[in-house]
């Protein structure tokens, strides 16, 4: 069972990986980061991606039942968001955010930054899901 550092190093072995981090979407803090940071600053990137992840995780409109505005649909403590991952594309990169289910509060996600010209988005989604399953926090 790999920890944070091992998981992030594993993510960096994916084709096209430029940077990877583990972020708490409540606090906006990077719990670990390797490689380059989009914009050159992992703390700023963590805060910005956390805002996006928090919005999506707390939004009922993207849940399986599409229950927008329903406070019962928002994830509670120990409950992972129903959304598995988010993908943002730019002209030269992919940003993949994978929510990690944890026994305590499930408020973290893996962020992988891939170069678009040599990254494989499908492979990255599969591998990040596997990493999220095996990740040991604490």
Residue 62, domain CATH: 3.30.450.30
**Exposed e or buried b for every residue in 60-71, given b needs 16+ CB within 10 A?**
bebbeeebeeee
pLDDT band, very low/low/confident/very high, at 138 (cuts 50, 70, 90): low
pLDDT in tens, 88-137: 999 999 999 999 987 777 789 999 999 999 999 999 999 999 999 888 77
Give the DSSP H/E element, type plus range, for residue 96.
strand 93-100
Total domains in the chain come to 1
Domain that holds residue 94: 4-134
Decide if pLDDT at 50 tops 70: yes
CA distances to 16, 18, 43, 68, 134 from 12, rounded to whole Å, are 8, 7, 18, 36, 16
Instruction: Select from 55, 26, 41, 28 the least CA-distant residue to 113.
Output: 41
């Amino acid at each position: 069972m790999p920890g944070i550092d091992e998981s992030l190093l594993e993510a960096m072995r994916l084709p096209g990986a430029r940077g990877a981090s583990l972020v708490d979407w409540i606090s906006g803090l990077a719990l670990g980061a390797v490689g380059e940071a989009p914009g050159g600053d992992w703390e700023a990137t963590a805060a910005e991606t956390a805002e996006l992840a928090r919005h999506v995780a707390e939004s009922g409109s993207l849940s399986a039942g599409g229950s927008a505005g329903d406070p019962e649909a928002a994830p509670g403590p120990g409950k992972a968001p129903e959304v598995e991952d988010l993908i943002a594309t730019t002209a030269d990169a992919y940003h993949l955010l994978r929510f990690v289910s944890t026994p305590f509060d499930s408020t973290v996600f893996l962020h992988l930054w891939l170069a678009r010209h040599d990254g494989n988005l499908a492979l990255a989604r599969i591998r990040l899901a596997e990493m999220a399953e095996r990740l040991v926090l604490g």
